[in-house]
Amino acid sequence: MDIHTFCEHYYMITRLPLQYFDDSHVLHCSVPETQWKLIPNLDSMSKVPYSSNMYYNSFGFGAFYGFVNLRAETGFLVIGPVKEQPYTPQTLLRLHRSLEIPYALYEQADLFFQAIPKRNLQQLIHHLNFINFVFNGESDSSLPPSENNDILSPALHKEEEENFYWRDTEISESYMYSLGRQMQEYIRQGDADGLKHFMSQSKESHMGRVANDELRQVKNIFIYTVALSESAAIDGGLPPEIAYGIANLYTQQMEKIDEITEIMSLNQHVRIEYAKRVAAYKYPFDADQLLKRIINYVRTHTDQPITAASAARHVGYSRCYISTKFKERLGFGLKEFILRTKLERSRIMLLYTSKSINEISTCLCFSSQSHFQKAFREQYGVTPQYYRKNGFSDIQ
């Protein structure tokens, strides 16, 4: 049987996404085709066996995937994601991050995932059993009827209880969402001082329980607020790659901490970090279209040897006029803005790539590695090497 034809017909009937991978995890067929990933990284995935050919797995955004090995095809079909309950705004945030969906596609992707028919794990296994019969000629007669109780394994129950970012409970979500909306607005506006005052007045310790133990509770709240902060920062103008990078860095740092007070302190620090970053990237509130065009041009050409003169020529004005306009609105000239933008880009490359200092310097078109190192130290007070090792904590 042709796999692609089967997937197309099966999707027409069930509206459940299907993908076919070979044994090397290379994708050969996806129905429907989308501009975003449908499944997290297969290489890091652990699957729960249901039979010799059928597996399933769950993820932090509350959805399940089913897997069927196709013995004659040396590959496997993946069905999903499927979810029993509708996606909430919070679970969609987790889905965005898990599937690395580009920010520009959030709205389109959300509509797609919300439209997938709701199914529980039992129903998903019924689908797996049918696919297993079609391709492998086998049927698991021990499969319980759909009206039976939940068939989640004890291990998966434990995973749901302890490792999901937060439980989808009305009490915790309603309070956390209300708190998050206020926090998001400060970050979106790049108002670090207002955010500090707001956090000093908020009562996060009154949130509903989202995990079985206090440490996991605080860690889950941390992950939740970082996700909200990340989204708000992108809305405020922070480039998505920088917003994602901050979230990953701080989340990894948090998971290494076992002291609740340290996690709460880090939680405040990451929010302020987002607000500061937004403020640094945000347009002046009265910026005209000319200024925005230049800012966009500089930020999208950091890997080119742009100068104040070339940037001015790009928009058809003199360097003197544009530099004066920058000085009036931002407090510094176009030449300094270009340097600051390149240095900000270098911070992300230092933290999230394996490129050497010299490679970063060359990529960003500095005249030499020593020039780059000198400019970085003058701007941030530490060397690029020191920053790569210590990260955000040493730059305020």
Q: What pLDDT is attached to residue 284?
A: 57
Provide the pLDDT for residue 143.
Answer: 47
β partners of residue 22: 75
The answer, yes or no, to whether the previous bond of 240 is cis (omega within 30 of 0) is: no
Minimum mean pLDDT among 168-172, 220-224, 256-260: which range?
168-172
By C-alpha distance, which of 66, 84, 80 is closest to 150? 84
Position of tokens 């039979």? 51
Nearest residue to 184 (alpha-carbon basis) of 232, 238, 247, 240: 232
First vs last C-alpha separation in the chain: 61
Burial class (CB in 10 A: 0-12, 13-18, 19+), 100: exposed
Dihedral through CA 209, CA 233, CA 285, CA 105, nearest 10? -110
Q: Grade residue 358 by pLDDT with cuts at 50, 70 and 90.
A: very high
CA distances, 242 to each of 93, 211, 226, 316, 362 (Å):
17, 29, 13, 30, 20
Residue pair 356/349 in contact (Cβ under 8 Å)? The answer is: no
For residue 41, is pLDDT > 90? Answer: no
Residue 81 has pLDDT above 90, yes or no: yes
pLDDT of the residue at 282: 65
Q: In 144-230, which ranges are E strands?
A: none
pLDDT of residue 210: 43
CA distances from 206 to 91, 255, 270 (A): 21, 22, 21
Q: What are the residue ranges spanned by the domains of the chain?
A: 3-162, 170-281, 289-394
d(CA 291, CA 34): 36
Which secondary structure element, helix H or strand E, spans residue 180, and what is its range? helix 170-189
With beta carbons less than 8 A apart as the criterion, state whether 384 and 351 touch: no
Q: What was the pLDDT predicted at 30?
A: 93
Which pLDDT score, from 0 to 100, does residue 203 have?
Answer: 53
Higher pLDDT, 381 or 73: 381
3-state secondary structure of 287: coil
pLDDT at 396: 44
The answer, as to whether pTM is greater than 0.85, is: no
21 bridge partner residues: 27, 76
Q: Residue 298 above 90 pLDDT?
A: no
Q: What is the pLDDT of residue 214?
A: 77
Contact yes or no for 287/329 (Cβ under 8 A)? yes
pLDDT one-digit tens code per residue, 306-355: 998 998 898 899 989 988 888 887 778 889 889 988 998 888 788 767 78
Residue 177 pLDDT > 80: no
Distance CA 24, CA 73 (A): 12
Q: So what's the architecture of 289-394 in CATH?
A: Orthogonal Bundle (1.10)
Per-chain mean pLDDT for the chain = 79
Instruction: State how far the Cα of 302 lies from the Cα of 281, in Å rounded to an integer.
Output: 14
Q: What are phi and psi of 340, to 5 degrees?
A: -60, -40
CB under 8 Å to 96, separation ≥6 — which residues?
106, 109, 231
What pLDDT is stored for residue 68 in this prediction?
93
Average pLDDT over residues 278-284: 71
Structure tokens at 95: 């889905």
Q: How far is CA 261 from CA 196, 203, 208, 257, 268, in A?
A: 17, 14, 18, 10, 11
Tell me: pLDDT of 45 over 70: no
d(CA 45, CA 69): 15
Structural contact between residues 187 and 233, judged by C-beta atoms closer than 8 angstroms: yes
